[in-house]
């Protein structure tokens, strides 16, 4: 097999192309073997990236999935929001597994920090919304981004100045306590951060300068997306979205590396579709087929453990996602989960008020009233989990992949046929 970076270029990006949970971590883990730096640009501990190594399961929420590779430097860019206690828990897991972290993990000095008061606000806001709640992960992500936009956020560079850091934390937490009425022991939190300061300070650097210097010195960089494009705060199913831009534009904003440097952008798409939390889902299956997809695919959130909603592949979403991000390649994941279904459906068009829509609509009232037009394809029964190349797949599976490729308009370069890193077909 031709080395990945020779095929895809020295600077590549892996993005979730649907509503998250597409399986980004696995491809990043595979590609990370050949890249010097793995960088995250958006999101926080609301993103759960799962990687299997020799049947051992690793779940990261803040660290890039490439952290398992001892040679790779991992960068958490300025567009992320970081809960330092969660980050330290993940670093401890690596160290216990014999994976070194010294001088391998760097956090942007422009990154915004998540605190306990953000988490308390998140829970309080969801409780207030009642039946109209969005279904957040309650990890404090939205409230932290709100502080950022309100120009009162606490950044990595603030952490390096103890006096400024503690002053801002006291002010912000007191404002939150008064507004929402919860009990809050800020002195206890300050004492915790004093205790971890010696571990965290060496990791906080100017990652903008670090990444640009790396590029100028010929280093290879792999950008790891978080969440999914359909959760983008601008282009997703607003307001049922995350608070950042998990699309290709967010990579440049979230790291300071212009998009012109990117040689390839790989969109990760499940062979069917899932979504966690509330929000529109035109091809959702609420019957036994949907339940079967959930159980066969192990569709429970890596971050929350919540059962994921499941449905047929939506080509309207896929085309919209591809146009937004300019994918050079697609990684189709979990094709093996479809084994055993006698018939498979693909949503190919939306109709509203008798008229075909040319793109994914912004108005969620329109989305909820759309009729989905499907095509039906025959399924397969043969076990495909040991397939190493496209020709190893049964004809029905190859036809399904080919049809998706035609509908998306982008080459499907990688096909996942199982959980392990070796269960990936390179097409």
Active site residues: 21, 49
Q: For the CA atoms of the chain, what is the radius of gyration?
A: 21
Secondary structure class of 367 (helix, strand, coil): helix
- Half-sphere exposure for 380 (CA within 13 Å, toward CB): 19
The two tokens of residue 315 are 């080509």
Three-state secondary structure of 346-370: EEEEEEECCEECCCCCCCHHHHHHC
Whole-angstrom Cα distance, residue 15 to residue 231? 12
161: left (phi over 0), alpha (psi -120 to 50) or beta: beta
8 Å CB contact between 144 and 172:
no
8 Å CB contact between 136 and 301:
no
> Distances from the Cα of 365 to the Cαs of 63, 267, 310, in angstroms?
37, 27, 21
Whole-angstrom Cα distance, residue 413 to residue 379? 21
Whole-angstrom Cα distance, residue 191 to residue 189? 5
> Distances from the Cα of 376 to the Cαs of 3, 20, 158, 334, 373, in angstroms?
36, 25, 56, 19, 10
Look-up: residue for tokens 């002195």?
A: 187
8 Å CB contact between 390 and 1:
no
Whole-angstrom Cα distance, residue 87 to residue 260? 31
Q: What is the DSSP letter of 88?
A: H
Continuous segment of H or E residues that includes residue 410: none
């Amino acid at each position: 097999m031709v080395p990945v970076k020779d095929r895809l270029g020295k600077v590549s990006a892996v993005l979730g192309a649907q509503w998250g949970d597409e399986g980004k971590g696995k491809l990043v883990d595979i590609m990370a073997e050949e890249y010097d730096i793995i960088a995250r640009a958006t999101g926080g501990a609301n993103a759960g990236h799962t990687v299997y190594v020799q049947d051992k399961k690793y779940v990261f929420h803040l660290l890039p999935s490439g952290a398992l590779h001892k040679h790779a430097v991992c960068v958490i860019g300025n567009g992320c929001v970081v809960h330092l206690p969660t980050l330290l828990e993940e670093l401890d897991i690596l160290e216990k597994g014999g994976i070194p972290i010294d001088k391998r993990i760097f956090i942007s000095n422009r990154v915004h920090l998540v605190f306990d008061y953000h988490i308390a606000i998140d829970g309080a806001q969801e409780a207030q919304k009642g039946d109209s709640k969005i279904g957040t992960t309650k990890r404090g992500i939205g409230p932290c981004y709100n502080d950022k936009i309100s120009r009162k956020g606490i950044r990595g560079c603030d952490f390096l100045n103890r006096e400024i850091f503690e002053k801002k934390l006291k002010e912000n937490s007191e404002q939150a306590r008064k507004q929402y009425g919860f009990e809050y022991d800020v002195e206890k939190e300050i004492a915790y951060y004093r205790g971890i300061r010696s571990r965290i300070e060496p990791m906080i650097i100017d990652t903008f300068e670090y990444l640009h210097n790396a590029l100028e010195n010929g280093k290879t960089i792999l950008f790891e997306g978080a969440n999914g494009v359909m959760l983008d705060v601008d282009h997703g199913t607003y307001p049922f979205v995350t608070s950042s831009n998990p699309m290709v534009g967010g990579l440049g904003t979230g790291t300071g590396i212009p998009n012109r440097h990117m040689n390839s952008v790989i969109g990760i798409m499940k062979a069917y579709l899932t979504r966690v939390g509330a929000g529109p889902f035109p091809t959702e299956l609420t019957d036994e087929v949907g339940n079967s997809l959930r159980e066969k695919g192990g569709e429970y959130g890596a971050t929350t453990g919540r059962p994921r909603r499941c449905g047929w592949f939506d080509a309207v979403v896929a085309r919209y996602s591809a146009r937004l991000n300019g994918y050079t390649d697609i990684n189709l994941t979990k094709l093996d989960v479809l084994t055993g279904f006698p018939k498979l459906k693909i949503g190919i068009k939306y109709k509203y008020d008798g008229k075909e829509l040319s793109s994914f609509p912004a108005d969620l009232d329109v989305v909820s009233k759309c009729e989905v037009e499907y095509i039906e394809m025959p399924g397969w029964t043969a076990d495909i989990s040991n397939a190493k190349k496209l020709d190893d797949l049964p004809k029905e599976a190859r036809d399904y992949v080919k049809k998706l490729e035609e509908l998306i308009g982008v080459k499907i370069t990688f096909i996942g046929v199982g959980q392990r890193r070796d269960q990936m077909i390179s097409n």
